[in-house]
Amino acid sequence: MPSPDRNLRAVNLPADWAPQSWRNRTAMQLPQYPDAAALESALAELRDLPPLVTSWEILSLKQQLAEAQEGKRFLLQGGDCAESFSACNSGVISNRLKVLLQMSLVLVHGMRKPVVRVGRFAGQYAKPRSTDTETIGEVTLPSYRGDMVNAPEFTAAARAPDPRRMIKAHARSAMTMNFVRALIDGGFADLHHPEYWNLSWVGHSELAEEYRRMVTAIGDAVRFMETLSGAEVHNLNRVDFYTSHEALLLPYEESLTRQVPRHWGWFNLSTHYPWIGMRTAAVDGAHAEYFRGIRNPIALKVGPSVTPDQLLRTIDLLNPEDEPGRLTFIHRMGASGIAEKLPPLLDAVRRDGRRVLWVCDPMHGNTESTSNGYKTRRFRNIRSELEQSFELHAAAGTRLGGVHLELTGEDVTECLGGARELTESDLERAYMSTVDPRLNYEQALEIAMLIVRKQAQ
Protein backbone atom coordinates (compact mmCIF):
# COMPACT_ATOMS: atom_id res chain seq x y z
CA MET A 1 0.00 0.00 0.00
CA PRO A 2 1.45 3.43 -0.85
CA SER A 3 2.20 5.55 2.15
CA PRO A 4 -0.49 8.20 2.68
CA ASP A 5 2.46 10.46 3.49
CA ARG A 6 3.25 10.76 -0.20
CA ASN A 7 -0.10 12.36 -0.87
CA LEU A 8 0.58 15.14 1.55
CA ARG A 9 3.16 17.85 1.30
CA ALA A 10 5.96 17.31 3.80
CA VAL A 11 5.89 19.86 6.58
CA ASN A 12 8.58 20.73 9.01
CA LEU A 13 8.52 19.67 12.61
CA PRO A 14 8.69 22.71 14.89
CA ALA A 15 12.23 22.59 16.27
CA ASP A 16 11.43 24.08 19.66
CA TRP A 17 8.55 21.72 20.42
CA ALA A 18 8.35 18.57 22.57
CA PRO A 19 5.36 16.54 23.86
CA GLN A 20 5.87 18.21 27.24
CA SER A 21 6.65 21.79 26.08
CA TRP A 22 3.05 22.82 26.93
CA ARG A 23 4.15 22.63 30.57
CA ASN A 24 5.91 25.99 30.18
CA ARG A 25 2.63 27.74 29.33
CA THR A 26 -0.46 28.64 31.28
CA ALA A 27 -2.77 25.61 31.21
CA MET A 28 -6.47 26.31 31.71
CA GLN A 29 -9.03 23.80 32.97
CA LEU A 30 -6.63 21.20 34.38
CA PRO A 31 -7.43 19.49 37.71
CA GLN A 32 -5.13 19.91 40.72
CA TYR A 33 -4.01 16.39 41.62
CA PRO A 34 -3.22 16.27 45.34
CA ASP A 35 -0.66 13.44 45.12
CA ALA A 36 2.20 14.13 42.66
CA ALA A 37 3.68 10.63 43.05
CA ALA A 38 0.35 8.95 42.25
CA LEU A 39 0.00 11.18 39.19
CA GLU A 40 3.49 10.33 37.95
CA SER A 41 2.92 6.61 38.47
CA ALA A 42 -0.35 6.69 36.46
CA LEU A 43 1.36 8.62 33.64
CA ALA A 44 4.29 6.19 33.60
CA GLU A 45 1.83 3.31 33.24
CA LEU A 46 0.02 5.10 30.41
CA ARG A 47 3.27 5.79 28.58
CA ASP A 48 3.83 2.04 28.47
CA LEU A 49 0.35 1.02 27.31
CA PRO A 50 -0.41 0.46 23.63
CA PRO A 51 -1.91 3.32 21.61
CA LEU A 52 -5.58 3.40 20.57
CA VAL A 53 -5.14 4.35 16.90
CA THR A 54 -2.35 4.23 14.32
CA SER A 55 -0.48 6.87 12.36
CA TRP A 56 -1.69 5.25 9.11
CA GLU A 57 -5.30 5.84 10.06
CA ILE A 58 -4.53 9.39 11.18
CA LEU A 59 -2.89 10.26 7.87
CA SER A 60 -5.69 8.72 5.83
CA LEU A 61 -8.21 10.82 7.78
CA LYS A 62 -6.08 13.90 7.09
CA GLN A 63 -6.29 13.09 3.40
CA GLN A 64 -10.09 12.79 3.61
CA LEU A 65 -10.30 16.11 5.45
CA ALA A 66 -8.17 17.70 2.73
CA GLU A 67 -10.78 16.51 0.25
CA ALA A 68 -13.56 17.92 2.44
CA GLN A 69 -11.77 21.28 2.30
CA GLU A 70 -12.09 21.11 -1.48
CA GLY A 71 -15.80 20.32 -1.29
CA LYS A 72 -15.37 16.70 -2.36
CA ARG A 73 -16.54 15.28 0.98
CA PHE A 74 -18.71 16.35 3.92
CA LEU A 75 -17.75 15.81 7.56
CA LEU A 76 -20.22 14.30 10.01
CA GLN A 77 -18.86 14.45 13.56
CA GLY A 78 -21.09 13.45 16.45
CA GLY A 79 -21.55 11.73 19.78
CA ASP A 80 -22.00 12.43 23.47
CA CYS A 81 -21.07 15.66 25.18
CA ALA A 82 -19.35 13.48 27.78
CA GLU A 83 -18.92 9.73 27.63
CA SER A 84 -19.30 8.01 30.96
CA PHE A 85 -17.64 4.84 32.23
CA SER A 86 -21.04 3.37 33.11
CA ALA A 87 -22.33 3.85 29.56
CA CYS A 88 -19.47 1.86 28.02
CA ASN A 89 -21.73 -1.02 27.01
CA SER A 90 -22.76 -2.74 23.80
CA GLY A 91 -26.23 -1.17 23.55
CA VAL A 92 -25.08 2.43 23.89
CA ILE A 93 -22.10 1.96 21.58
CA SER A 94 -24.00 0.17 18.82
CA ASN A 95 -27.00 2.52 18.98
CA ARG A 96 -24.72 5.54 18.62
CA LEU A 97 -23.00 3.90 15.68
CA LYS A 98 -26.38 3.13 14.09
CA VAL A 99 -27.53 6.76 14.27
CA LEU A 100 -24.28 8.00 12.79
CA LEU A 101 -24.48 5.41 10.00
CA GLN A 102 -28.09 6.31 9.24
CA MET A 103 -27.27 10.01 9.18
CA SER A 104 -24.32 9.42 6.90
CA LEU A 105 -26.48 7.36 4.56
CA VAL A 106 -28.97 10.24 4.33
CA LEU A 107 -26.10 12.65 3.63
CA VAL A 108 -24.41 10.45 1.02
CA HIS A 109 -27.69 9.87 -0.75
CA GLY A 110 -28.80 13.50 -0.65
CA MET A 111 -25.50 15.28 -1.23
CA ARG A 112 -24.06 12.79 -3.71
CA LYS A 113 -20.68 12.95 -2.08
CA PRO A 114 -18.80 10.74 0.37
CA VAL A 115 -19.07 11.50 4.04
CA VAL A 116 -16.17 11.53 6.50
CA ARG A 117 -17.54 9.80 9.61
CA VAL A 118 -16.06 10.86 12.94
CA GLY A 119 -17.41 9.90 16.37
CA ARG A 120 -17.11 11.92 19.55
CA PHE A 121 -16.25 8.70 21.33
CA ALA A 122 -13.54 6.34 22.59
CA GLY A 123 -11.96 9.13 24.67
CA GLN A 124 -14.50 11.93 25.25
CA TYR A 125 -14.06 11.66 29.01
CA ALA A 126 -12.67 15.07 30.11
CA LYS A 127 -14.82 18.22 30.33
CA PRO A 128 -14.08 21.94 30.63
CA ARG A 129 -16.32 23.72 33.18
CA SER A 130 -17.32 27.35 33.53
CA THR A 131 -16.54 27.31 37.28
CA ASP A 132 -13.91 25.37 39.24
CA THR A 133 -16.27 24.63 42.13
CA GLU A 134 -19.93 23.88 42.70
CA THR A 135 -21.86 24.94 45.80
CA ILE A 136 -25.01 23.28 47.08
CA GLY A 137 -26.33 24.76 50.34
CA GLU A 138 -23.35 25.20 52.65
CA VAL A 139 -21.09 22.77 50.80
CA THR A 140 -18.57 23.73 48.09
CA LEU A 141 -16.76 20.99 46.15
CA PRO A 142 -14.63 20.82 42.97
CA SER A 143 -16.74 20.73 39.77
CA TYR A 144 -17.24 17.44 37.95
CA ARG A 145 -14.71 17.42 35.07
CA GLY A 146 -15.57 14.21 33.28
CA ASP A 147 -15.09 10.56 34.26
CA MET A 148 -11.40 10.72 33.33
CA VAL A 149 -10.89 13.19 36.21
CA ASN A 150 -13.51 12.63 38.94
CA ALA A 151 -17.08 11.36 39.49
CA PRO A 152 -20.34 13.34 39.19
CA GLU A 153 -21.82 12.53 42.64
CA PHE A 154 -21.78 15.52 44.97
CA THR A 155 -19.46 14.12 47.67
CA ALA A 156 -15.90 15.10 48.54
CA ALA A 157 -14.64 11.60 47.72
CA ALA A 158 -16.31 11.51 44.29
CA ARG A 159 -15.14 14.97 43.32
CA ALA A 160 -11.47 14.48 44.29
CA PRO A 161 -9.39 14.17 41.08
CA ASP A 162 -7.96 10.66 40.83
CA PRO A 163 -5.12 10.00 38.35
CA ARG A 164 -6.01 6.27 38.16
CA ARG A 165 -9.12 7.36 36.27
CA MET A 166 -6.87 8.12 33.27
CA ILE A 167 -5.91 4.43 33.10
CA LYS A 168 -9.56 3.46 33.26
CA ALA A 169 -10.44 6.01 30.53
CA HIS A 170 -7.73 4.53 28.31
CA ALA A 171 -9.14 1.03 28.89
CA ARG A 172 -12.77 2.08 28.25
CA SER A 173 -11.67 3.92 25.11
CA ALA A 174 -9.89 0.79 23.93
CA MET A 175 -12.99 -1.35 24.62
CA THR A 176 -15.20 1.10 22.73
CA MET A 177 -12.74 1.23 19.84
CA ASN A 178 -12.43 -2.53 19.78
CA PHE A 179 -16.18 -3.05 19.61
CA VAL A 180 -16.66 -0.40 16.90
CA ARG A 181 -13.86 -1.90 14.82
CA ALA A 182 -15.25 -5.43 15.26
CA LEU A 183 -18.77 -4.36 14.28
CA ILE A 184 -17.50 -2.62 11.17
CA ASP A 185 -15.18 -5.44 10.16
CA GLY A 186 -17.98 -7.94 10.72
CA GLY A 187 -20.22 -6.21 8.18
CA PHE A 188 -22.41 -4.11 10.50
CA ALA A 189 -21.83 -1.06 8.29
CA ASP A 190 -22.47 -2.95 5.04
CA LEU A 191 -24.58 -0.78 2.73
CA HIS A 192 -26.22 -3.95 1.45
CA HIS A 193 -27.75 -4.42 4.89
CA PRO A 194 -28.87 -1.09 6.32
CA GLU A 195 -31.63 -3.03 8.11
CA TYR A 196 -28.96 -3.92 10.69
CA TRP A 197 -29.05 -0.28 11.77
CA ASN A 198 -32.69 -0.07 12.71
CA LEU A 199 -33.23 1.01 16.28
CA SER A 200 -36.08 -1.10 17.57
CA TRP A 201 -37.85 1.66 19.50
CA VAL A 202 -38.36 4.00 16.54
CA GLY A 203 -40.52 1.77 14.33
CA HIS A 204 -43.43 4.21 14.50
CA SER A 205 -41.58 7.41 13.59
CA GLU A 206 -42.55 9.38 10.46
CA LEU A 207 -38.90 10.12 9.84
CA ALA A 208 -38.15 6.40 10.03
CA GLU A 209 -40.66 5.92 7.19
CA GLU A 210 -38.91 8.54 5.03
CA TYR A 211 -35.59 6.94 5.92
CA ARG A 212 -36.83 3.46 4.94
CA ARG A 213 -37.91 4.76 1.52
CA MET A 214 -34.40 6.15 1.06
CA VAL A 215 -32.84 2.82 2.05
CA THR A 216 -34.99 0.96 -0.50
CA ALA A 217 -33.96 3.44 -3.22
CA ILE A 218 -30.28 3.02 -2.34
CA GLY A 219 -30.62 -0.78 -2.21
CA ASP A 220 -32.16 -0.76 -5.69
CA ALA A 221 -29.38 1.47 -7.03
CA VAL A 222 -26.69 -0.76 -5.52
CA ARG A 223 -28.21 -3.92 -6.99
CA PHE A 224 -28.63 -2.21 -10.37
CA MET A 225 -24.96 -1.20 -10.47
CA GLU A 226 -23.88 -4.67 -9.41
CA THR A 227 -26.01 -6.23 -12.14
CA LEU A 228 -24.50 -3.88 -14.71
CA SER A 229 -20.90 -4.43 -13.69
CA GLY A 230 -21.31 -8.09 -12.73
CA ALA A 231 -19.31 -7.42 -9.59
CA GLU A 232 -19.88 -6.14 -6.10
CA VAL A 233 -19.79 -2.38 -5.86
CA HIS A 234 -16.44 -1.57 -4.38
CA ASN A 235 -16.20 -0.43 -0.78
CA LEU A 236 -19.88 -0.66 0.04
CA ASN A 237 -19.40 -3.35 2.60
CA ARG A 238 -16.89 -1.38 4.63
CA VAL A 239 -16.89 2.17 5.88
CA ASP A 240 -14.20 4.12 7.64
CA PHE A 241 -14.95 5.38 11.10
CA TYR A 242 -12.67 7.76 12.95
CA THR A 243 -12.58 8.96 16.54
CA SER A 244 -12.22 12.37 18.11
CA HIS A 245 -12.35 13.98 21.53
CA GLU A 246 -11.53 17.28 23.19
CA ALA A 247 -7.86 16.91 24.09
CA LEU A 248 -8.29 18.77 27.35
CA LEU A 249 -6.35 16.75 29.91
CA LEU A 250 -2.86 17.42 28.60
CA PRO A 251 -0.96 15.02 30.92
CA TYR A 252 -3.03 12.16 29.46
CA GLU A 253 -2.60 13.36 25.87
CA GLU A 254 1.14 13.80 26.36
CA SER A 255 1.51 10.22 27.59
CA LEU A 256 -0.08 8.91 24.39
CA THR A 257 1.99 11.17 22.12
CA ARG A 258 4.41 8.89 20.35
CA GLN A 259 6.85 8.52 17.51
CA VAL A 260 6.37 5.59 15.16
CA PRO A 261 8.86 3.76 12.96
CA ARG A 262 7.44 4.57 9.53
CA HIS A 263 6.35 8.19 9.79
CA TRP A 264 8.40 11.14 10.95
CA GLY A 265 7.20 13.42 13.73
CA TRP A 266 4.94 12.98 16.74
CA PHE A 267 1.39 11.63 16.73
CA ASN A 268 -1.29 11.77 19.38
CA LEU A 269 -2.25 8.10 19.27
CA SER A 270 -5.16 8.40 21.73
CA THR A 271 -7.48 9.55 18.93
CA HIS A 272 -7.43 10.37 15.24
CA TYR A 273 -8.74 13.93 15.37
CA PRO A 274 -8.39 15.85 18.65
CA TRP A 275 -9.92 19.28 19.11
CA ILE A 276 -9.24 22.32 21.32
CA GLY A 277 -12.32 23.51 23.18
CA MET A 278 -13.41 27.13 23.27
CA ARG A 279 -12.25 27.69 26.85
CA THR A 280 -8.69 26.51 26.19
CA ALA A 281 -8.15 28.04 22.74
CA ALA A 282 -5.87 30.97 23.71
CA VAL A 283 -3.13 31.26 21.11
CA ASP A 284 -0.43 31.63 23.78
CA GLY A 285 -1.90 28.91 26.03
CA ALA A 286 -0.73 25.39 26.85
CA HIS A 287 -3.27 23.62 24.65
CA ALA A 288 -2.32 25.50 21.48
CA GLU A 289 1.35 24.79 22.30
CA TYR A 290 0.67 21.05 22.60
CA PHE A 291 -1.40 20.90 19.39
CA ARG A 292 1.21 22.81 17.39
CA GLY A 293 3.62 19.89 17.36
CA ILE A 294 1.45 16.84 16.70
CA ARG A 295 0.86 15.60 13.17
CA ASN A 296 -2.82 14.68 13.57
CA PRO A 297 -5.48 16.67 11.78
CA ILE A 298 -6.71 19.05 14.49
CA ALA A 299 -9.78 21.17 15.12
CA LEU A 300 -10.45 24.29 17.16
CA LYS A 301 -13.78 25.49 18.50
CA VAL A 302 -14.39 29.12 17.53
CA GLY A 303 -16.79 31.06 19.75
CA PRO A 304 -18.36 34.53 19.46
CA SER A 305 -15.54 36.40 21.22
CA VAL A 306 -12.82 35.42 18.70
CA THR A 307 -11.55 38.28 16.50
CA PRO A 308 -10.34 37.92 12.90
CA ASP A 309 -6.84 38.83 14.03
CA GLN A 310 -6.78 36.12 16.72
CA LEU A 311 -7.98 33.58 14.20
CA LEU A 312 -5.20 34.43 11.74
CA ARG A 313 -2.59 34.21 14.50
CA THR A 314 -4.01 30.81 15.43
CA ILE A 315 -3.56 29.62 11.84
CA ASP A 316 0.03 30.93 11.83
CA LEU A 317 0.73 28.87 14.92
CA LEU A 318 -1.15 25.67 14.13
CA ASN A 319 -0.75 25.40 10.37
CA PRO A 320 2.13 27.67 9.33
CA GLU A 321 2.78 25.74 6.13
CA ASP A 322 -0.85 25.65 4.99
CA GLU A 323 -0.90 21.86 4.97
CA PRO A 324 -4.08 20.39 3.42
CA GLY A 325 -6.40 18.63 5.89
CA ARG A 326 -4.51 19.87 8.91
CA LEU A 327 -6.81 22.49 10.43
CA THR A 328 -10.56 22.61 11.07
CA PHE A 329 -12.47 25.51 12.59
CA ILE A 330 -15.68 24.49 14.32
CA HIS A 331 -17.75 27.65 14.77
CA ARG A 332 -20.31 27.71 17.58
CA MET A 333 -21.81 31.18 17.73
CA GLY A 334 -25.45 30.70 18.68
CA ALA A 335 -28.44 31.26 16.42
CA SER A 336 -28.85 34.89 17.47
CA GLY A 337 -25.19 35.88 17.09
CA ILE A 338 -23.92 34.02 14.04
CA ALA A 339 -25.06 36.52 11.40
CA GLU A 340 -22.97 39.22 13.06
CA LYS A 341 -20.00 37.19 14.32
CA LEU A 342 -19.19 34.71 11.56
CA PRO A 343 -18.84 36.81 8.34
CA PRO A 344 -15.81 38.89 9.51
CA LEU A 345 -13.98 35.64 10.36
CA LEU A 346 -14.83 34.03 7.02
CA ASP A 347 -13.69 37.16 5.15
CA ALA A 348 -10.39 37.38 7.02
CA VAL A 349 -9.46 33.75 6.38
CA ARG A 350 -10.55 33.89 2.73
CA ARG A 351 -8.70 37.16 2.04
CA ASP A 352 -5.57 35.67 3.51
CA GLY A 353 -5.94 32.60 1.28
CA ARG A 354 -5.73 30.20 4.24
CA ARG A 355 -6.77 26.59 3.91
CA VAL A 356 -9.19 25.50 6.65
CA LEU A 357 -12.18 23.20 6.90
CA TRP A 358 -15.20 25.12 8.21
CA VAL A 359 -17.59 23.11 10.36
CA CYS A 360 -20.72 24.23 12.22
CA ASP A 361 -21.46 23.15 15.80
CA PRO A 362 -25.04 24.38 16.22
CA MET A 363 -25.28 23.01 19.78
CA HIS A 364 -22.94 24.89 22.11
CA GLY A 365 -24.01 28.46 21.34
CA ASN A 366 -27.64 27.55 22.00
CA THR A 367 -27.62 26.15 25.53
CA GLU A 368 -30.15 27.55 28.01
CA SER A 369 -31.79 26.62 31.31
CA THR A 370 -35.50 25.94 31.70
CA SER A 371 -37.69 27.16 34.53
CA ASN A 372 -37.72 23.59 35.92
CA GLY A 373 -33.92 23.58 36.16
CA TYR A 374 -32.81 21.61 33.09
CA LYS A 375 -29.95 22.57 30.80
CA THR A 376 -31.45 22.28 27.33
CA ARG A 377 -31.33 23.43 23.69
CA ARG A 378 -34.23 24.28 21.39
CA PHE A 379 -34.31 22.34 18.14
CA ARG A 380 -35.44 25.46 16.28
CA ASN A 381 -32.31 27.36 17.41
CA ILE A 382 -30.05 24.45 16.42
CA ARG A 383 -31.75 24.31 13.05
CA SER A 384 -31.56 28.07 12.59
CA GLU A 385 -27.84 28.23 13.33
CA LEU A 386 -27.18 25.45 10.86
CA GLU A 387 -29.30 27.02 8.12
CA GLN A 388 -27.73 30.43 8.65
CA SER A 389 -24.28 28.81 8.46
CA PHE A 390 -24.94 27.48 4.97
CA GLU A 391 -26.24 30.88 3.87
CA LEU A 392 -23.42 32.92 5.44
CA HIS A 393 -20.76 30.70 3.88
CA ALA A 394 -22.42 30.96 0.47
CA ALA A 395 -22.55 34.76 0.80
CA ALA A 396 -18.89 34.95 1.88
CA GLY A 397 -17.62 32.69 -0.91
CA THR A 398 -16.49 30.04 1.57
CA ARG A 399 -17.82 26.52 2.10
CA LEU A 400 -19.46 24.82 5.06
CA GLY A 401 -17.72 21.46 4.96
CA GLY A 402 -19.26 19.65 7.89
CA VAL A 403 -21.34 19.54 11.02
CA HIS A 404 -20.44 18.78 14.65
CA LEU A 405 -23.29 17.51 16.85
CA GLU A 406 -24.03 16.19 20.32
CA LEU A 407 -26.30 13.21 19.85
CA THR A 408 -27.11 9.75 21.11
CA GLY A 409 -28.89 6.66 19.82
CA GLU A 410 -30.86 6.41 23.06
CA ASP A 411 -34.46 7.58 23.43
CA VAL A 412 -33.60 10.63 25.54
CA THR A 413 -35.53 13.85 26.08
CA GLU A 414 -32.82 16.48 26.49
CA CYS A 415 -33.37 18.99 23.64
CA LEU A 416 -36.74 20.73 23.14
CA GLY A 417 -38.79 20.60 19.93
CA GLY A 418 -38.08 18.53 16.82
CA ALA A 419 -40.47 16.18 15.00
CA ARG A 420 -42.07 15.03 18.24
CA GLU A 421 -42.24 18.59 19.62
CA LEU A 422 -40.75 17.82 23.02
CA THR A 423 -41.76 20.36 25.66
CA GLU A 424 -40.25 21.41 29.01
CA SER A 425 -42.38 18.89 30.85
CA ASP A 426 -41.01 16.06 28.65
CA LEU A 427 -37.45 16.76 29.80
CA GLU A 428 -37.80 14.93 33.11
CA ARG A 429 -38.92 11.72 31.34
CA ALA A 430 -35.49 10.70 30.03
CA TYR A 431 -32.83 13.30 30.77
CA MET A 432 -29.64 11.23 31.06
CA SER A 433 -26.71 13.45 30.05
CA THR A 434 -24.25 14.29 32.83
CA VAL A 435 -23.22 17.50 31.08
CA ASP A 436 -24.84 18.93 27.90
CA PRO A 437 -28.21 18.02 26.29
CA ARG A 438 -27.99 15.78 23.21
CA LEU A 439 -30.18 15.30 20.15
CA ASN A 440 -32.06 12.01 20.33
CA TYR A 441 -32.30 9.63 17.38
CA GLU A 442 -35.20 11.37 15.66
CA GLN A 443 -33.84 14.86 16.16
CA ALA A 444 -30.46 13.73 14.79
CA LEU A 445 -31.98 12.15 11.71
CA GLU A 446 -34.07 15.28 11.16
CA ILE A 447 -30.87 17.37 11.17
CA ALA A 448 -29.35 15.10 8.51
CA MET A 449 -32.44 15.50 6.32
CA LEU A 450 -32.36 19.24 6.84
CA ILE A 451 -28.72 19.47 5.73
CA VAL A 452 -29.60 17.65 2.54
CA ARG A 453 -32.51 20.00 1.83
CA LYS A 454 -30.34 23.03 2.52
CA GLN A 455 -27.57 21.78 0.24
CA ALA A 456 -29.99 21.19 -2.59
CA GLN A 457 -31.14 24.85 -2.57
Choose between 52 and 333: whose C-beta lies nearer to ligand PEP.
333
Closest CA to 121 of 99, 106, 143: 99
N-terminal to C-terminal alpha carbon distance within the chain: 40
278 binds ligand PEP (CB under 6 A): yes
Which residue in the set 332, 341, 383, 393 belongs to the binding site for ligand PEP (CB under 6 A)? Answer: 332
Counting contacts by CB under 6 A, is residue 277 touching ligand PEP? yes
Per partner kind, with CB cut-offs from 5 to 8 A, the member of Mn ion, ligand PEP, none near residue 301 is ligand PEP
Tell me the sheet residues that pair with 26.
none
Beta carbons within 8 Å of 129's beta carbon, 6+ residues apart: 29, 143, 144, 145
Rounded Cα distance between 280 and 419, Å, is: 35
Non-local (6+) Cβ contacts of 24 within 8 A are 289
Q: Is 81 in the site for Mn ion (CB under 5 A)?
A: yes
Amino acid at 161: P
- Between 246 and 414, CB nearer to ligand PEP: 246
Shortest-Cβ-distance residue relative to ligand PEP: 277
Task: Tell me the per-residue interface mask from 284 to 303 with ligand PEP, x by CB under 6 A, - otherwise.
Answer: -----------------x--
DSSP sequence for 221-282: HHHHHHHHHSSPPTTTT----EE--B---HHHHHHTEE--SSS-SBEETT-SS-EE-GGG--
Residue closer to ligand PEP by CB (options 165, 301) is 301
Residue from the set 436, 438, 441, 451 that interacts with Mn ion by CB under 5 A: 436
Q: Alpha helix locations (H) across 294-440?
A: 308-318, 338-351, 379-396
The 3-state DSSP class for residue 377 equals strand
Nearest-approach distance from CB 26 to ligand PEP, in angstroms: 17
Cβ neighbours around 301 below 10 Å, total: 23
Using CB under 6 A, which of the segments 274-282, 311-319, 368-376, 423-431 binds ligand PEP? 274-282
Residue placing its CB nearer to ligand PEP in the complex, 152 or 219? 152
> CB under 5 to 8 A by kind: which of Mn ion, ligand PEP, none does 454 bind?
none
Stretch that binds ligand PEP, among 47-55, 257-265, 273-281, 319-327 (CB under 6 A): 273-281
Interface residues with ligand PEP (CB under 6 A)? 81, 128, 246, 277-279, 301, 332, 364, 436
